[in-house]
Structure 1
């Protein structure tokens, strides 16, 4: 066994840790399994706790621009309160619940440029040491995949994906960030909108699907965008004509946006249409005093083209999936990460 990471704060002769994740991607709301392998150092140590952290590379918008940083969005304690003797090999299996709102990192087996990681923290002798770091791969839930597949078949293309710090008002969002998937419009909508932005907020019962239309501007057009929110049950996946359903969503969103622009709207506010059973809601500014901005362009270099099988993912001009895996540590190493998500340690 080759251990990836010596515990730096304990110096040469300290324990080493290697976290091995079960093969294959996980899904939002699923379970991440694996084992943490420890190798004792030159002396005996008491392991006070062994905790796994889920990290994400998140963008934040400010008045003077954008920044990137690392956020810890879930922590799960998998063991502790045992003695690790000098030179001893010790393995601890784990099953870590994955938060429902965990962003997807791949589609049809190819990466989207979203960087998530699993980091092992070892509590030894009153100190915490950040140990092994592994990439986390998350595939879509069946409902998410059905919606993305329908968008591809309807002619929408995948422009980019990123994680944005903040909250979407009027939703049940739990994590301190959300995933935004930017789509190029299908040809029949290209004269009306620049792009469609898609966010999934998954939960035990289903999905909240937030769609935003960035209107194609003109000399007399307003700068307002339109948002619509829909709810989808996990149980409806096999009972819905998703092409027709999603087409109706997009058509309503675009028509709602056109009607809003015709009426002049309200300066500084977004139009927000609601299509669920939760009553009136509104679209707030996204956290920390920053209003929601709109970005276009390839981001991490991710480009997804619509194909016969739906959204077929291809990463060009940037970091391909294998390089994301190889360099995931570079994204998180040395960052001043922030805690977030659904609270502290879990037993």
Structure 2
């Protein structure tokens, strides 16, 4: 994707920015690369720095309900300290490493409704200006894909995915938010749970898989949430019988036999762990009925009830358009 920006803080004739990401989806802990193309304006400018900022649309649970906004969770300086002459064209190549906990935005090429982007910022003559957002595609790690594939093979279906502000207690979570992938129960568990939520917390050595079940109530008991956590490595994924492994996890979860002595607990933090810019009327989550279903070739992302996957893309597109409008309304803002 490409975006161009005339720096409003510098007025007419300022440098133009054209950032191009290399094609293909990146992976958590992997490389995001591309080039920032600069075109000099009506005069000479000193470019003090060229920065890239990773941002995401994140939901927060507040005392008076839910809110949605933008969280910047990583920043890279990819160039700077040079003079950009009038009309000069210059390219700044970059190759940066994504955080291991970067949320996945697609599965088998199908978007999950997660709004994740990179924003270019220039520091020019003591001022700064944040450019437009460029969507970033992130594919799952092999272990993440194996777990999701197994869930699909077991009959679980994709319902929605979102990012929640806060931390999951008992984990080594690094980012100020976590991703929840909500699944409809497989037929064999439908009488026990209403929904399963999956969260991946990846790191260099492996990943934690946090599972939460919305359990149904019985004749003499009320429904409640059950939560547990399992750890898997990045290596040897192909040697694991993931259907059996994941089915064992689900059985322990619904029977309240956690893998760890102290199950993880959600610690929702309204504004902790990082900057949170409240949203501008965007509605939360895709909720489009997009499904992940088990097929002959494994887990496939499809369409349910005639709801086109393009609607999920539109939902994400609305977020980026809204952020662009907000930037235009705050050009040259130092805060």
Pair in the same fold by TM > 0.5? yes
Measured in 1, the distance between the counterparts of 2:180 and 2:256 equals: 21
In 2 relative to 1, CA 68–144 (structure 1 residues): closer, same or farther, beyond 3 Å? Answer: same
Measured in 2, the distance between the counterparts of 1:242 and 1:142 equals: 12
Unmatched 5+ stretches in structure 2: 273-283, 328-335
- 2:301 corresponds to which residue? 313
Measured in 1, the distance between the counterparts of 2:138 and 2:289 equals: 16
- 1:225 corresponds to which residue? 225
| Post-superposition offset of 1:4 | 1.7
Measured in 2, the distance between the counterparts of 1:204 and 1:335 equals: 36
How do 1:126-141 residues align onto structure 2 when only pairs under 5 Å count? 126-141=126-141
- 2:201 corresponds to which residue? 201
What's the secondary structure of 2:256's corresponding residue? helix
Measured in 1, the distance between the counterparts of 2:60 and 2:68 equals: 6
Measured in 2, the distance between the counterparts of 1:15 and 1:331 equals: 23
How do 1:18-57 residues align onto structure 2 when only pairs under 5 Å count? 18-57=18-57
In 2 relative to 1, CA 298–310 (structure 1 residues): closer, same or farther, beyond 3 Å? Answer: farther
What's the secondary structure of 2:163's corresponding residue? strand
How do 1:254-273 residues align onto structure 2 when only pairs under 5 Å count? 254-256=254-256, 273=258
In 2 relative to 1, CA 58–289 (structure 1 residues): closer, same or farther, beyond 3 Å? Answer: closer
- 1:329 corresponds to which residue? 320
What's the secondary structure of 2:158's corresponding residue? strand
Tell whether the 8 Å contact from 1:157 to 1:311 is kept in structure 2 after alignment.
no
- 1:119 corresponds to which residue? 119
Measured in 2, the distance between the counterparts of 1:103 and 1:302 equals: 20
- 1:211 corresponds to which residue? 211
- 1:179 corresponds to which residue? 179
In 2 relative to 1, CA 253–325 (structure 1 residues): closer, same or farther, beyond 3 Å? Answer: closer
Tell whether the 8 Å contact from 1:113 to 1:302 is kept in structure 2 after alignment.
no
- 1:304 corresponds to which residue? 291
Unmatched 5+ stretches in structure 1: 258-272, 291-296, 337-347
Pick the aligned partner of 1:285 from 231, 256, 267. 267
In 2 relative to 1, CA 313–154 (structure 1 residues): closer, same or farther, beyond 3 Å? Answer: same
In 2 relative to 1, CA 107–282 (structure 1 residues): closer, same or farther, beyond 3 Å? Answer: closer
How many pairs does the alignment contain? 311
- 1:16 corresponds to which residue? 16
TM value normalised by structure 1? 0.84
Tell whether the 8 Å contact from 2:47 to 2:81 is kept in structure 1 after alignment.
yes
